[in-house]
Structure 1
């Protein structure tokens, strides 16, 4: 067996595995059930596409494809961070709305207490409305 034939067989096997992974990840991105599941699926799709680009670069011999894969990895990372911040911000909105007042406590004081707990749980480096 020649090295070219080994690379050819390995790339075919890699493409088959990547197609299966792509189909399973697209299913998870569509079905969900939660927003974080979809964000992780989109991040996984970026990784799978990088794998496709690497296999194509190996098969064709063009090293320019590796640069494209690196750029896609950076953009995918930034998109994942942006989605994570969106999910964190979305989770804080309205957290105090479902608070029930305890015995001897008004509903307004229960909401104020819940809002203080949410503000206290923010990360130290986050820029919220308080920093503006």
Structure 2
């Protein structure tokens, strides 16, 4: 029962990731694109963690943690570029 709920939640998150991808591509400003990329990164991290729960593979949890860290660093880097004025013009 729990596996089914996690699987349905994972599929729902994958569909929502495509909504974020649309915003990252079409977003009218650079800020919208950065927020969308951060949202995609967070959703992918949760999807990887759910896959770890479904498959009972502990290795996927480590992958999710590394992916979350890289997503955070990328968001900080893009925010710094945006503040310096080298992004979004």
**Aligned residue in 2 for 1:11:** 6
With 15-24 and 27-36 compared, the bigger mean Cα shift is at 15-24
Name the Cα RMSD after superposition. 1.2
Please say if residues 7 and 54 of structure 2, whose CA atoms lie closer than 8 Å, have aligned partners that are also in contact: no
Q: Which runs of 5+ in 2 are unaligned?
A: none
Distance 2:68 2:7 in 1: 23
Detail structure 1 runs of 4+ shifted over 3 Å in the superposition: none
- Supply the distance in 1 between the matched residues of 2:18 and 2:25 (Cα, whole angstroms): 11
How many residues were matched structurally? Answer: 86
Question: What are structure 1's unaligned runs of at least 5 residues?
Answer: 1-5, 92-132
2:68 to 73, 86, 98: 73
Given the two structures, how large is their TM-score scaled by the length of structure 2?
0.90
Relative to total residues, which structure has the larger helix share, 1 or 2? 2
TM-score if structure 1 supplies the norm length? Answer: 0.62
Q: Which residue of 1 aligns with 2:59?
A: 64
In structure 1, what is the Cα distance between the partners aligned to 2:8 and 2:55? 16
